[in-house]
Amino acid sequence: MKIVTVSYLNTLPFIQGLEKAGFDLVKAYPAQCAELLHAGKADIALIPVGALQENQEYYILSEYGIGADGFVRTVALFGSEPMEEWTELFLDYQSRTSVLLTRVLMKYYWKRDIPFTKGTKGYEELLTNNRGGLIIGDRAFTYEEKYPYQYDLSKAWKMWTGLPFIFAVWVSLKKIDSKKVEGFANSLEFGLQNFQISSAMTNLSIHMESYFKENISFRFSQDHWKAFEKFNGYTGRNNLKVHRL
């Protein structure tokens, strides 16, 4: 089976488990993962929940994925001025989920009505003069020290709803044999149980062990799935055809 996964640090435990099991693995950023799956170029993909389409049937293959229960660090709004002064907000082009979450939180939680602009290459350096920006993934670590005003989206969602959040799920477009699903899930669990932080990671400016243990949810609880349904409701996608295997 060909599997597509997100090429961010937070998927490394899964990647190590899948590579150990010998799966054919392709790495891409979130929006590309969804495109490859929908184009039929992958059997299984880790895709953003915001990329799930109402005209498509999905099979969620496990209780594993990428989520958070509060502060996540790698999905946030940044700016040189406080949000109350922003007159424009750049949106990250790498993930639809975070863009949708931004729109929901701006409307219902922060109650701000400001113009959104799709970010293009280099937009992360333009967050001055009353402009804010959504930055996701590993790039967010770079800007934690650059911009004084930061608004973590998962933390905001938790404060607003009292629930954790699911950013990405493992899905296929057709039902897969139960033994293959079990083997796939066992590989994910093996990766989580035996994850090794490489020497290259220890040179990064963040504390890797605490990031993986405290900021990322790799296994989903019932509250995560409640949040999944709530988020779909706020984004107007109440009729998703999703089957949990």
Convert the pLDDT of each residue in 60-114 to its tens digit.
Answer: 999 999 999 999 999 999 999 999 999 999 999 887 899 999 999 999 999 999 9
Angle between helices 96-104 and 30-38 (to 10 degrees): 120
Gap between the Cα atoms of 128 and 51, Å rounded: 30
CATH 3.40.190.10 matches 75-161: yes
Give mean pLDDT, residues 165-193: 96
- SS3 at position 107: helix
Mean pLDDT computed over 183-211: 78
The label of the residue with tokens 């090429």 reads 7
**C-alpha–C-alpha distance, residues 57 and 16, integer Å:** 29
**199: pLDDT strictly greater than 60:** no
Of the candidate ranges 28-37, 102-111, 220-229, the one whose mean pLDDT is the lowest: 28-37
pTM, 2 dp: 0.93
Contacts of 209 (CB under 8 A, 6+ apart): 197
Question: What residue spans define the domains of the chain?
Answer: 2-67+165-244, 75-161
Query: Which pLDDT band, with edges at 50, 70 and 90, does 197 fall under?
Result: confident
**What's the CATH code, domain 2-67+165-244?**
3.40.190.10
pLDDT at 142 over 70: yes
With a cut of 80, say whether residue 125 has pLDDT above it. yes
Side-chain-side CA neighbours of 64 within 13 Å: the count stands at 24
